Structure 1
């Protein structure tokens, strides 16, 4: 009896092993090797609404990747939950190089701001390549008695809590830029959150709010029209769009930098050869003179990094915004 049980157990184990091997072989046959990638269309999930800057740059990159790699790159907008909905879709997708994530510094902020989300960025994704970054500009209503950052810092320290700044909502890049500024400059400004940038922008121009961090390209014409004053831009280098406006970094808050940047990631486990090929293709696109010129007019600067350097950049950005969020006790809505 015992002998029969052992024989049946051995036979069952052999059948399971054969079935597992057959399944592995079948998967290998249906999934082309990394060097054959891409053999079909690639989906880029954009966890933001269609028509915004992230969506526009994603479509630009998708078209250039299609031209470079010979397969369609399809944009799939999945907004919701502060980028969490679309990002989670990619996190749960096969790691085969056919589903990618268009991400931004919203994701590195959310690592601390939304700690209970269903994924962890650096655990569930692998960095492919950055795309570009865009500067912000700190503007003030003309009634604010400060024409440059030195004046504004003096005013803020003389009147702690009397100046305020608008943003498009808690945890947004514009809010985070303001909180980083407060922390690094040692000043206290009151945050006035809005549900979107348009209302915030309108009230700054109308004088209901004193200050705002906003996209350079959006505010450039408003500055030129004299409806607001440009105090400083937020990159380490001056903006091509407002080259006469100094940076926060050069005007009294050394090493201050708060930009909006974009990049590509893939589910963890994506073959390194596919990651390397995508990185090479995106880097070539970002380095092309016509791309630099076109993006420069839009206030964006190309970014080129290896996957390893990009992942280090992501880790540093997560740590940077974690400090700001904890210091300011920022809570997600």
Structure 2
């Protein structure tokens, strides 16, 4: 009888200890949330993070403060969130370079998949292959034929080594069996400057920064790296449509993620908020202007999405001998 009573009292004590935590989860959020952007202010990720923060505030009823923690191709900010308390008050604008590519090519303090709980996909931004219009290259097939006749003649600019703009060019090189040389830049702006000036012939770039020069005729769009055409460039074929076989989509994707161990009830509440935001016409229009597609995914689906991307990038980076030893 005494043992049974002791066990009962022990269970009651445990339940009482858990009550504050359970209440905190059901009451979430009851104070401001920090959304970490692992890039510098003013860039595409920052613009997207601030748009998302404003709309999350409306849905959750608490301020969502964007904190920029740039450095090491998104790995500084990503690592910071991996070490944060898993209580839902520190979130990350996770990106493909920080979550997938970075840990594959450098030793990091975190595992991009194991150290995070994925909430949902915020946006997906593929890349466009463009050529200086003075080259007179009208389509991808024209480029492939000329590149095969003159191996090593053409260079392609990217916004940085290891990012989607670089890896999209490397995949094209391998899939189309052409010899083109990568020229990395520190961002899209200097890459565009040299591309327009003729110092490089080709560019793999996000659509938004390249679009004004496509519209004024100085750049010729040849192909889009997504699986569907861009709404901003509906006349430009995808790589697959342009004849590149076995094309794997390469894009800059943004996911809302939390430190591993964040309570499931909080993950689900944030997932529901993101789904509701994605249905807002004003938000959809905003993303369309950024060439960002909306793909509603459950936490399990976005986790599988990141795992698939890691498998594809592991294969490509292995072929390029860029995997960390």
TM-score w.r.t. length of structure 1? 0.87
Partner of 1:135: 126
Residue 326 (structure 1) aligned with residue 309 (structure 2): no
Post-superposition offset of 1:31: 7.5
In structure 2, what is the equivalent of residue 40 of structure 1? Answer: 31
In the TM superposition, residue 73 of structure 1 has moved relative to its aligned partner by 1.1
Q: Tell me the number of residue pairs that the alignment of Structure 1 and Structure 2 aligns.
A: 311
Query: What is aligned with 2:7?
Result: none
- Decide whether the 8 Å contact of 2:93 with 2:255 is kept in 1: yes
Aligned pairs for 1:1-333 (under 5 A) are 29=20, 32-106=23-97, 107-114=99-106, 116-254=107-245, 255-330=247-322
CA distance in 1, matches of 2:19, 2:57: 25
Partners in 1 of 2:322 and 2:135 — Cα distance?
27
In 1: Cα distance, 2:50 partner to 2:133 partner: 38
- Name the CA distance, whole Å, in 2 between partners of 1:168 and 1:289: 31
Q: SS state of the match for residue 121, structure 1?
A: coil
Deviates most, 261-270 or 193-202: 193-202
Superposed CA deviations along residues 78-103 of structure 1, whole A, max 9, x for unmatched, are: 11122121112111111111111111
The structure number with the bigger radius of gyration is: 1
Structure 1: stretches of 5+ with no match in the other structure: 1-17
Query: What is the match of residue 6 of structure 2?
Result: none
Shift of 1:159: 1.9
Cα distance, 1:331 vs structure 2: 7.0
Separation in structure 2 between the aligned mates of residue 221 and residue 196 of structure 1, nearest angstrom: 17
Shift of 1:257: 2.0
How many Å apart are 1:213 and its aligned residue? 0.7
Matches of 1:226 and 1:244, distance apart in 2: 14
Partner of 2:4: none
Per the TM alignment, residue 145 of structure 1 is displaced from its structure 2 partner at its CA by 4.2
Any idea what SS the aligned residue of 1:183 has? helix
Scaled by the length of structure 2, what TM-score is found?
A: 0.90
The answer to whether the 8 Å contact 2:130/2:204 transfers is yes
Conservation of the 8 A alpha-carbon contact between 2:104 and 2:323:
no
Q: CA shift at 1:183, angstroms?
A: 2.0
Structure 2 match to 1:5: none
Distance, in Å, in 1 between the alignment partners of 2:174 and 2:243 is: 13
TM-fit CA distance, 1:33: 3.4
Per-residue CA deviation, residues 149-203 of structure 1 (Å, 9 max, x unaligned), is 1111112222222211111221122111111211222222111122332222111
CA distance in 1, matches of 2:124, 2:59: 22
